[in-house]
Structure 1
Amino acid sequence: MAEPMAYSNLPAPVYRGKVRDTYDLGDRLLIVATDRISALDVVLPTPIPGKGKVLTMLSAWWFERISGVVPNHFIAVITAENRSAVPFELGPEYYGRSMLVRKAQRLDAECIVRGYLSGSGWKEYRETGMVCGLRLPEGLRESDRLLEPIFTPSTKATEGHDRNITYEELARLVGAEAANAMRIRSLAVYGYAHTVALERGIIIADTKFEFGWWNEEVILIDEVLTPDSSRFWLANEYRPGGPQPSLDKQPVRDWLAAHWREGEPAPELPPDVVEATTERYLRAYRMLTGEELSL
């Protein structure tokens, strides 16, 4: 297994997010998915080996399949064979974790689609009977499947917590035309992806999308349908009425909840938590694509 990459270093203007380093190439962007991991709104100092490669390769797998459903920014994953598409030298550590994409003007909101009642949606439902202004039937349990998927946007905070907003607030934030496209396309991608994943033994309980303007059209950007942006449950272990076994960074969340308090410096993760998280990401990739990912 290759050494984990906590930070990239390439000769172009860069924006560093929690996980991705995005390099400006003019009319295109190079998105490098590092092995950084964030949980409970903090970026941890311990990288998760292979995580960035899973995020990139799984996003690419989905982008290629949903291109007929929703236009997106994906051009290519950078490999040894096509490295000349980037205007500077890349070492082999960048292959498979770097994605060349069209440069869109990002719309500053997150588009969350929920097919099941979990996470912050479950918390809000218990308190108000609603999720993002949408009233749901009474008597639902945690992890219950909803009668139909719901679109629940949120703000995109650069620091701290995102805030759930109503569709009307989204329209005021990004404009009516963009908001309509974001809702329709988010629900379309989720519906397609839920069917595909379920055939492979995974329930996509909810997921997050981001969009941007490109050539006067609202297109899908960033990552898509990964363990970072989605709640993946094992279909054969699904039992509504409580939390579900998942293929994501839950081991990190659980360890942090037990060993860290908000406001303290982010701690190093123990080896067993790192190993368990890598295995969950690889398992999600393997189940969805049917392929092994070489790290």
Structure 2
Amino acid sequence: MAEKDGVLQGIWETIKTIVYALLIAGLFRTLLFQPFWIPSGSMKDTLLIGDFLFVNKMAYGYSYASCPSIRIPALGVDIGADDFCGVFQGDRSSPDYEGGDRFLGGQPDRGDVVVFRHPVTGRDFIKRLIGLPGDRIQMKEGHLFINDEPTQVVDAGIFEEVFAPQGPQGLRPRCSNGAVGLGAVCEKRLSIETLPNGVEHHILNIGTQTFDDTGVYTVPEGYYFFMGDNRDNSRDSRESQASGGVGFVPYEDIVGRADRVMFSSAGRSMLYFWTWRADRFFKKIE
């Protein structure tokens, strides 16, 4: 009998340990940092497919979007932050809605690399913050204008990568040097763009695209305007939500700021150690 009680006690202690571990992990992810894999090339060359980073949730305070999402397509699991914490979400049907609120809220800075929830699909996106509330944003011949002033852009040569499937999805890059074969060099024009507050970052250009020339986007109060650094291969705030883009992003949909790449793998799996990019480990995001 004593032996049976000892086994039951051991099982109970194991269960408690697992529960405590899950609670601690959930608290860590909700309040401090959220892991994030880069799935696409929209932020090249700042972020590459296969980069792994932690999103700093403390940077801008907390909203419903700070709650974790659990998505396991193979098992049909799709639980969003609004399922966990939707009670804290603002009423977007209200005419008085202006982007929602945050607890201990801080304002993001222009040029920050930010993870946010897509206002419609709820999927996590990562882009660079370009437009603040009240800003006028426009593209003219591929050049970014903020409040009717052009950003400073300096040529930085050519960004090169191998034309081959990238990441778990096997995505192939787009090239400015035309159609190239597998294993060939894929090129894009590389520039350094300086935003009005002095933030410098790389941008890539493939060629003339639809969103190289746009109308003026006036960012509403409580909303933000985001763009990918790989300008010609990014679905972002230049494209409306009705067309599958991001549109303006409410303040409360922001998850946090990306500060540093922790790990990077160019292969279809992080277990393929021969594809690890050691030069990107702990790389600061600028």
Query: TM-score with structure 1 length normalisation?
Result: 0.28
Structure number with bigger Rg: 2
Higher strand share: 2
More helix by share: 1
Quick one: higher RCO (CA 8 Å, sep 6+), 1 or 2?
2
Q: When the two structures are superposed, what TM-score results if normalisation uses the length of structure 2?
A: 0.29
